[in-house]
Structure 1
Amino acid sequence: MLSYNFMQNALFVSVFISILCPCIGIFLVLRRYSMIGDTLSHASLAGVTIGLMCGQNPVLGAFLFTSFCGALIEFLRSYFKKYTDLILTVVLSLSVGTAITIISSGKLHANADSFLFGSILTVTKFDMAMVLILSLISVLTLIVLYHQMIYIAYDEEAAKVAGVRVRLINYVFSILVASAISISIRIVGVLVLSSMIALPVATALQLEKGFRQTFLFSIVFSFLDIMLGLFLSYYLNVAPGGFTALVSVAMLVLVLAGKQIAKRVRSFKGSPIS
């Protein structure tokens, strides 16, 4: 299977996706902003259609438009402080409306369907280079802003009082989310991309560890989800994005079941013998 160039390309991209998505996802989940990932994944479709219409690389189009939408969400937060869901509705309407308008116009130079469901056949050398560059920039930025982002994730108001440049970091973080989404879109697809951002983190949270351990376990679960989804979808001849989402859900269910079994075993061992 790995003798095929397209599978080698897909494996290369998948490794970076498995690391980058939970790096972004853990901060979104802790801030209860996981639906922002879903909104921006739909925004990436609009970026793809714009890129295809202009004859440019669709991944670059996805990154630019998703970055714009991420910055727009942060900008609108100052006007709708108590209505985050309303902001997401506005951006989602803009994104989906743009995508549908362009697709229905008949002006696309290629088919955008592969971006909806994900396709291992569409990963190019240029995409791999973009994935490498965007991933390195994103990870380095996360390392530099690590402590500030943890502070913001747990208490944004306290972070402001402590002198953290919350607004600037939120804008930077929105671009990081756009980066993660744009490089993942080829393999995972728009419709299930948000699952790769949130589900590995949700699975790791069930282990009830500290932040760093949860962070590391979320990367492990993300890697397992994507690798199993990629390889099994190849043999089953199904779209890797949808199957990876199913694997992610199955992994979460297994961890929840294991947690309950372990709890019952502990209670059984701790019960007095009559």
Structure 2
Amino acid sequence: MDLLAYPFMQRALIAAALVGITAPAIGTYLVQRRQAVMGDGLGHVAMTGVALGFLLQSSPVWMATLVAVVGAVGMELIRARGRTSGDVALAMLFYGGLAGGVMIINLAPGGSTAKLLGPMFGSIAAVAPEDVTAMAILSALVLAVTIGLRRQLFAVCQDEEFARVAGLPVRFLNLLIAITAAVTVTVAMRIVGLLLVSAMMVIPVAAAQRLTRGFAATLGLAMAISLTISLTGTAATYYIDVPSGAMIVLLAIAVFLVLSLVATPLARRRARAARATEQVCTQDDVKVQ
């Protein structure tokens, strides 16, 4: 494969693999707690961090991580204290983060909104060696949290009151989910883009749910689907001059549609089998009586 002969493609494929694994790892929890659009809001907030990186001439990835984490914590605290609805908090993240990014990038030396296009929609040529290092560190943190604390996080996402009664630190775990989502957004920034990262958190999970029932099975299949899509989409952009984020998301939607078509007859067969089993059990009960 000639694309592996180029260092920038090697970095892009490594970054795509990291995105493919981490996005559904936290996305499964967000879907479980019906916060599928949270990644989108955090992506807008991270735009301010990217612009600050250009302004301060520091790493856009680390600066975006810092700003996104602060925004995620603020949103979660507002939601937990009930001072305003989660929708309003997300709206403030959406518009404030995007407006802040546009304003700050124009204050940077030689800055213009064109510099934000790569982080917004993803670009395989934008992945620098230092970005790969940062993404690897952040991805390791995301996986350590989402897999190492999967039982506790699942309990909080499923039923906060039950988790609180069981003695789990609900507020801390909610903050941890928000922070992990913020970190994941910046991991995906170079390949998928800040405006499209939410799709990779949600669509592979939704596709996996078409075929699986249990949480662990959904998480594993979603990660496999996302990894395959991310690598395929990134490789495809080497031959087709299009943004990598758009290609990856469109592939994810295509996979979801295919699996939906496959899952429909399977669901009908399962329903018929369940009805048949129920009828047999009912007949056996009647005979026993």
Matched residue type, 2:23: C
* Aligned counterpart, 1:191: 195
Tell me which of 116, 133, 147 is aligned to 2:137: 133
Tell me which of 54, 58, 66 is aligned to 1:52: 54
The 3 A distance-change label for structure 1 pair 265 and 235 is farther
Judge conservation of contact 2:52–2:105 (CA < 8 Å) in 1.
no
Q: Deviating runs (4+, > 6 A) in structure 1?
A: 264-269
* Aligned counterpart, 1:7: 9
Matched residue type, 1:210: G
Tell me which of 242, 251, 264 is aligned to 2:246: 242
How far did 1:106 drift? 5.4
Q: How does 1:59-138 map to 2 (within 5 A)?
A: 59-80=61-82, 83-105=85-107, 107=109, 109=111, 111-138=115-142
* Aligned counterpart, 1:19: 21
Say which is worse superposed, 87-96 or 63-72, in terms of deviation: 87-96
Judge conservation of contact 1:40–1:70 (CA < 8 Å) in 2.
yes
Q: How does 1:158-237 map to 2 (within 5 A)?
A: 158-237=162-241
Unmatched 5+ residue regions in structure 1?
Answer: 270-274
Query: Aligned residues: percent identity?
Result: 30
Judge conservation of contact 1:102–1:108 (CA < 8 Å) in 2.
no
Matched residue type, 1:10: A
* Aligned counterpart, 1:41: 43
Number of equivalent positions? 270
Say which is worse superposed, 171-180 or 182-191, in terms of deviation: 171-180
TM, length-normalised to structure 1: 0.92
* Aligned counterpart, 1:260: 264
Judge conservation of contact 1:46–1:65 (CA < 8 Å) in 2.
yes
How far did 1:103 drift? 2.9
How far did 1:265 drift? 7.3
Say which is worse superposed, 98-107 or 244-253, in terms of deviation: 98-107
Distance of 2:173 and 2:202 partners within structure 1: 21
What CA RMSD, in Å, does the superposition of the two structures yield over aligned residues?
Answer: 2.1
TM, length-normalised to structure 2: 0.87
How far did 1:261 drift? 4.2
Distance of 2:122 and 2:227 partners within structure 1: 17
How far did 1:268 drift? 10
Structure ID, larger Rg: 2
The 3 A distance-change label for structure 1 pair 141 and 260 is closer
